[in-house]
């Protein structure tokens, strides 16, 4: 074999077929492909999906930190596109890029989910957890996903919004339809838009009522919030409620299921320590967001040509940053394919927007960084940690019902949603 043939053979051994990203195996276990990307194609031009893929930790970090070069917005804010017209949530902050409108919407609402304003809702979080667990406490078994994690965050947020408790089941149904509508299936999108329209029709009289007689609930705070004397209009308020229900709810929903899965199946040897010290659920949450985060990707668009390694990404190109790949980067984390709630090379405290911490340790990438750092990060962490701690404390001798489990994987490409186990059956000693 000639030297040229040897070179071609060696290169083909490490080549990536872009159709691998759509394969069922990738949905279940993307990490072998992530490693090939990091090792051999840190910047990968995926011509099949018309995008560029970035997979190493510090390269993902650099994209997050440089919102002037990489924008989240697909459309220009001053262009002809009517924002919200093609999104299942309606007008929402996720569609805006790096301009004034994004900053305004973010600043109006971001302060509602941190500090004392979040602490004010802790009794609601505790109440909902108790109510849900009481429904199956005497059964001796529970399917965590349908009986708890799907229910919990949506009932919490509807209570925080001050919506009637008798309508909670309706909001749970709307949430599931909205999330499915984020996918690519036409039927799912149609159902999602129908759910959005039903929810909007339901919300409009409530919003008008709260405008006249505001309360202490989150909906009243959103309605009253303003920046430079300007408040959100009716459609923006309704879009924010849809975003809170769907995107915020799904993150917490999946986080709870993933954390319980890891304690039951991945690291049952660490579960006794976590049960004995409930504060360690903070570590479980952090390591879950590194090891196999709820969200694995974010998209960006280049504002200018960007040179990276031996490639140049053209202006206006779509860039996919793989948070899930960066979080397993061997250049940053020791033994990254092992789930360890006690690892010493990961920042285990609260996240911040800069991604830079006093302990000098890198943080997980799961909430993003920079201008588009997740607004609901504190609420998602708080809800997931409190829910899991109460779950483990309330159910005696908690254990897996089945010896084997299919694990965590992504949903079908036709429907939206994030990575989590589709079901998780646990047993416990009934009261």
- The mean of the pLDDT values for the chain is 90
- Give 3-state DSSP helix, strand, coil % of the chain, rounded to 5: 50, 10, 40
- The per-residue pLDDT for 180 is 85
pLDDT score of 12: 67
Q: pLDDT band at 107, cuts 50/70/90?
A: confident
Nearest residue to 110 (alpha-carbon basis) of 372, 295, 286: 372
pLDDT above 60: residue 355: yes
Question: What pLDDT does residue 64 have?
Answer: 95
What is the model's pLDDT at position 92? 75
The two tokens of residue 62 are 């650099």
pLDDT of residue 259: 98
Q: Is residue 359 helix, strand or coil?
A: coil
Tell me the fold of 72-295+328-363+366-429. Cytochrome p450 (1.10.630)
- What pLDDT band is residue 96 in, cutting at 50, 70 and 90? confident
265 has pLDDT over 60: yes
pLDDT at 246: 79
Q: What are phi and psi of 355, to 5 degrees?
A: 70, 15
Where residue 7 falls among pLDDT bands split at 50, 70, 90? low
Helices assigned H by DSSP within 161-185: 168-180
Q: What percent of the chain has pLDDT over 70?
A: 95
The residue that leads in pLDDT, 118 or 339, is: 339
Residue 78's pLDDT band (boundaries 50, 70, 90)?
Answer: confident
Q: Report residue 74 as tokens.
A: 């697909």
- Bigger pLDDT: 199 vs 14: 199
Confidence band, pLDDT 50/70/90 cuts, at residue 144:
very high
| Euclidean distance between CA atoms 352 and 377, whole angstroms | 9
Q: How confident is the model at residue 72 (pLDDT cuts 50, 70, 90)?
A: confident
Domain ranges of the chain: 72-295+328-363+366-429
Q: Is the pLDDT of residue 165 over 60?
A: yes
Which percentage of the chain shows pLDDT scores above 90?
A: 64
Q: Do 283 and 341 form a contact (C-beta atoms < 8 A)?
A: yes
Question: By the 8 A CB rule, do 174 and 198 touch?
Answer: yes
User: Which of 3-7, 57-61, 82-86, 386-390 has the weakest average pLDDT?
Assistant: 3-7
Q: Would you say residue 283 has pLDDT above 80?
A: yes
Q: Which residue has the tokens 């908690």?
A: 398
> pLDDT, tens digit, for every residue of 363-405?
999 999 988 888 788 889 999 999 999 999 999 999 999 999 9
Q: Average the pLDDT over 338-363 and give the result.
A: 96
pLDDT (0 to 100) of residue 183: 80
What are the tokens at 318? 């779509």
What average pLDDT score do residues 351-366 get?
95
Does residue 31 or residue 188 have the better pLDDT?
31
Query: What is the per-residue pLDDT for 1?
Result: 64
- Give residue 52's pLDDT: 98
Q: Which of 26-35, 108-117, 292-301, 371-380 has the lowest mean pLDDT?
A: 108-117
Does the pLDDT of residue 2 top 60, yes or no? yes
Task: Classify each residue of 43-60 as buried b or exposed e, where b means 16 or more C-beta atoms within 10 Å of its C-beta.
Answer: bbebeeeebbbbbbbebb
In this structure, of 63-77, 99-113, 239-253, the range with the lowest mean pLDDT score is 99-113
- Biggest CA–CA distance in the chain, Å, is 82
What predicted TM-score, i.e. pTM, was given to this entire model?
0.92
- Per-residue pLDDT at 153: 93
**Count of C-beta atoms within a 10 Å radius of residue 266:** 22
Residue 94 has pLDDT above 80, yes or no: no
Q: What is the pLDDT of residue 8?
A: 57
Across the range 15-36, mean pLDDT stands at: 94
User: pLDDT higher for 241 or 422?
Assistant: 422
Q: How does residue 10 score in pLDDT terms, banded at 50, 70 and 90?
A: low
């Amino acid at each position: 074999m000639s030297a040229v043939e040897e070179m071609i053979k060696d290169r083909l051994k490490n080549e990536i077929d872009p159709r691998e990203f759509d394969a069922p195996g990738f949905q279940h276990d993307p990490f072998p492909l992530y490693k090939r990307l990091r090792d051999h194609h840190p910047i990968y031009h995926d011509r099949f999906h018309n995008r560029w893929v970035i997979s190493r930790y510090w390269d993902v970090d650099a994209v997050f930190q440089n919102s002037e070069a990489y924008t989240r917005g697909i459309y220009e804010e001053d262009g002809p596109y009517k924002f919200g017209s093609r999104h299942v949530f309606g007008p929402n902050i996720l569609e805006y890029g790096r301009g004034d409108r994004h900053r305004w919407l973010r600043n109006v609402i971001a302060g509602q989910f941190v500090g004392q304003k979040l602490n004010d809702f802790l009794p609601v979080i505790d109440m909902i957890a108790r109510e849900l667990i009481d429904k199956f406490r005497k059964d001796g078994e529970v399917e965590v996903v349908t009986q708890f994690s799907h229910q919990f965050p949506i009932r919490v947020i509807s209570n925080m919004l001050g919506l009637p408790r008798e309508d909670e089941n309706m909001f749970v149904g709307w949430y599931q339809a909205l999330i499915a509508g984020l996918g690519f299936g036409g039927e799912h999108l149609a159902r999602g838009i129908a759910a959005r329209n039903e929810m909007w029709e339901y919300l409009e009289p409530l919003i008008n009522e709260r405008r006249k007689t505001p309360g202490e609930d989150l909906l009243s705070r959103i309605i009253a919030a303003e920046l430079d004397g300007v408040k959100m209009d009716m459609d923006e308020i309704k879009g924010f409620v849809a975003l809170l229900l769907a995107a915020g709810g799904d993150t917490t929903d999946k986080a709870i299921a993933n954390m319980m899965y890891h304690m039951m199946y991945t690291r049952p040897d660490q579960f006794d320590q976590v049960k004995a010290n409930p504060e360690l659920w903070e570590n479980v949450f952090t390591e879950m967001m590194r090891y196999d985060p709820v969200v694995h990707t974010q998209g960006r668009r280049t504002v200018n040509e960007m040179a990276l390694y031996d490639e140049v990404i053209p202006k206006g190109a779509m860039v996919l940053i793989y948070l899930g790949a960066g979080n397993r980067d061997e250049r940053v984390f020791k033994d990254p394919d092992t789930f360890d709630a006690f690892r010493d090379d990961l920042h285990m405290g609260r996240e911040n927007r800069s991604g830079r911490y006093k302990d000098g340790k890198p943080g997980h990438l799961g909430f993003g960084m920079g201008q588009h750092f997740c607004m609901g990060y504190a609420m998602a962490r708080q809800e997931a940690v409190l829910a899991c701690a109460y779950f483990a404390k309330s159910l005696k001798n908690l254990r897996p019902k089945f010896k084997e489990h299919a694990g965590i994987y992504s949903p079908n490409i036709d429907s939206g949603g994030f990575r989590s186990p589709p079901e998780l059956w646990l047993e416990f000693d009934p009261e």
